Homo-oligomer: A and B are copies of this chain.
């Protein structure tokens, strides 16, 4: 058997947050998550041009604590919920643990990156992409 083809994501930066453990992080940003800095690698800073405070963006992260061999979970870890395929859930445990977070840009600071809110990702989470929201119902 040959190794399967894979695609290499590079971190463009890292989350700097007061949240340090998955246990204390809300399950979703809208469930009380704090603001956080996205510290962007200077090599990619130019790609932020055009992002301004107030912008709504979709942040993609690498959920480095996710378990990649999990195909079914009980949503929200509730034993009363039926086992469900991970592609029908937002579990961080999934074959490619890419996190998707809709956040508002609060500040853009040269040499520092973006301040955003609300973000449930823990401190040290790698950031892999930032995309503008196209319209309110968009994802």
Contacts and interface: CB of A to CB of B under 8 A. Distances in A.
- Total copies of the chain: 2
B139 A98 contact: no
A88 B50 contact: yes
A129 B108 CA distance: 29
Contacts of A86: 47
A69 to B, nearest CB: 11
Contacts of A50: 84-85, 87-89
A8 interface: yes
Interface string A1-28: 0001111111110000000000000001
A33 interface: no
Interface of A: 4-12, 28, 44, 46-51, 55, 57-58, 60, 62, 64, 71-72, 83-90, 94-96, 98, 100, 102, 126, 128-134, 136-139
17 contacts: A5-B11, A6-B9, A7-B9, A7-B126, A10-B95, A44-B95, A50-B84, A51-B85, A60-B96, A87-B131, A88-B132, A90-B131, A90-B132, A98-B98, A100-B100, A100-B139, A102-B138
